[in-house]
Amino acid sequence: MIRALALMLALALPVVAQDAPAAQEVIVAGMSQNRVSITADFDGSEILIYGAVKRDAPPPEGAGPLEVIVTVEGPSGPVAVRRKDRVAGIWINNASVRVDSAPSFYAVATTGPLDYILSDVDNLRYGITIERMIRAIGISDEADKAGEFVLALLRVRTDEGRYRVLEGKVELTEDTLFRTDVVLPANLTEGEYKVRLFLLRDKRVIASQERVIGVRKEGLERFIFNLAQEQPLVYGLLSLALAALAGWGASAAFRLMRA
């Protein structure tokens, strides 16, 4: 009996060795800054995202080339998308749908074309492309051709610079070091911006890491924001007073110019 067990163990050992997992590759990453302050003269910011691939052994023979994807995602929230139609010679909002959730900002930078380096399965699993980050459940019941509303949202926010696809903008050196620059626009939404990094081989994600950039209003911007949120009546009265003062100033200047 003991001899039979020993024989079975000896036969099993080569199989275990043959099926041992491949060399693990992990991400060691950093950013030029993890905090962005929105002030009165804020006109955008550029974030350098860099890193290296740490391995415990050389990559297995026959493995596909290494690829890197970096995404930066701003705070998400519901969005009402409206369509204007011409009725009786006047353009009016004739139909609308409510998108459950869409990121206020989203950028995806890659080492190559997304279609060539990322599979549909892993895109669905990790939610990497912009389309996968927009949740619009049940909008087909709200309007005809509801899919066109989502396309319109993508088009508008792309034109505004809030959605960006930066294919080929991740520099990868010797399958080890990588870096990319992501420009954050001036119209940022306050909150936490999630940075995700993915390593891929053969269109499959083999490693990932997540970091956070904090975006916060400071100075006068913070004072006005807090005033509007905490004391809306005072904020409204102050806005009316400033508008009246600006109107009086413009009128006085006009009278001086005519004199």
User: How many helices and strands (H and E) does the chain possess?
Assistant: 7, 12
At 6 the three-state DSSP class reads helix
Interatomic CA distance for residues 110 and 42, integer angstroms: 27
Strand ranges of the sheet holding 45-55, from the earlier edge strand across to the other edge: 25-31, 45-55, 177-184, 171-173
Section 89-110 average pLDDT: 81
What does the pLDDT look like over 2-13, one tens digit per residue? 444 444 444 444
243 backbone dihedrals φ, ψ, rounded to 5°? -65, -40
85 or 121, greater pLDDT: 121
Tokens of 141: 């019941």
Most confident of 71-85, 101-115, 229-243: 101-115
pTM of the model: 0.73
Query: Percent helix, strand, coil in the chain (nearest 5)?
Result: 35, 40, 30
User: What sign for the dihedral angle of Cα 248, 254, 256, 259?
Assistant: negative
Contact 139, 146 (CB under 8 A): yes
**Which of 174, 163, 178 has the alpha carbon at shortest distance from 71?**
163
The pLDDT assigned to 190 comes to 85
Interatomic CA distance for residues 216 and 39, integer angstroms: 9
Contact 215, 38 (CB under 8 A): yes
For every residue of 195-208, DSSP letters joined together read EEEEEEETTEEEEE
247 or 35, greater pLDDT: 35
The pLDDT assigned to 66 comes to 93
Section 153-165 average pLDDT: 91
Contact 120, 92 (CB under 8 A): no
Q: Give residue for tokens 């954050």.
A: 184
Interatomic CA distance for residues 23 and 149, integer angstroms: 45
Q: What is the dihedral of CA 46, 48, 49, 52, to 10 degrees?
A: 170
Residue 115, judged by CB atoms within 10 A of its CB (0-12, 13-18, 19+), counts as: exposed
What does the pLDDT look like over 16-59, one tens digit per residue? 334 444 558 899 999 988 888 766 666 678 899 999 999 887 87
Per DSSP, 141 falls in state G
Q: How confident is the model at residue 97 (pLDDT cuts 50, 70, 90)?
A: confident
Contact 49, 28 (CB under 8 A): no
